[in-house]
Amino acid sequence: MENKTITMAASKRIALIAHDNMKSELMAWCTIHRTRLVEHSLYATGTTGHMLEKHLQHPVEKMISGPLGGDQQIGAMLAQQQLDMVIFFWDPFEPMPHDPDVKALLRVAAAWNTPVACNRTSADFMISSPLFNSEVKYDIPDYDKYIESRFADGSANN
């Protein structure tokens, strides 16, 4: 598939997600970085979003709970370029009943070239980057061109 270059705005749309065992770590990380985070639009899956909103005293757009489809909602927003980055503190030692949803979310993020931090150290690198508060040009799949080429002769080629 061909790519196209788009521009990520200086004001980011950030998804914040944490598994149950990692929620306290995400809250602590967000407290440290509150000043930088509240300059951007924040999104989160259900319980995490409610905790963050109360903890940060700042609005958070909340999806439904991850196991009920919130991870998939975030993935859909990534595919539609409605989010710019994901900070997802997941627990690598605890099997989750919705592991396929988590894997799908990470796959969509990779497919759409979305920055993802899966732990505190990578989140620190992301938020301390000079790109965090800057416009950034980056490549994403050119889906329109892909569809156009598949149906150029009136039929799809498998």
pLDDT at residue 97 in the model = 67
Strands of 61-62's sheet in order across: 61-62, 41-44, 13-18, 85-89, 116-117
Question: Of 144, 126, 145, 143, which is closest to residue 134 (Cα–Cα)?
Answer: 126
> pLDDT averaged over the chain?
93
User: What average pLDDT does the segment 73-100 reach?
Assistant: 89
pLDDT of 3 higher than 90 = yes
- Give the pair of three-digit tokens for residue 48: 């995490």
Q: At 154, is the pLDDT very low, low, confident or very high (cuts 50, 70, 90)?
A: low
Q: What is the per-residue pLDDT across 90-127, written as a single tens digit (0 to 9) for each?
A: 888 877 667 788 889 999 999 999 999 999 999 999 99
Which residue is catalytic, options 20, 71, 84, 144? 71
Q: Is the dihedral of CA 76, 15, 99, 103 positive or negative?
A: positive
Mean pLDDT, rounded, for 30-47: 97
Question: With b meaning 16 or more CB within 10 Å and e meaning fewer, what string describes 74-88?
Answer: bbebbbeeebbbbbb
**Catalytic site includes residue 124:** no
- What band does 157 get if pLDDT is binned at 50, 70 and 90? low
Confidence (pLDDT) at 156: 61
The string of DSSP codes covering 97-130 is TTHHHHHHHHHHHHHTT--EE-SHHHHHHHHHSG
Q: Which domains does the chain have, with CATH numbers?
A: 11-133 (3.40.50.1380)
Query: For position 158, what pLDDT does the model report?
Result: 55
Mean pLDDT of 46-75: 94
Confidence band of 133 (pLDDT split at 50, 70, 90): very high
Per the confidence metrics, is the pTM higher than 0.75? yes
Contacts of 109 (CB under 8 A, 6+ apart): 75, 78, 86, 116
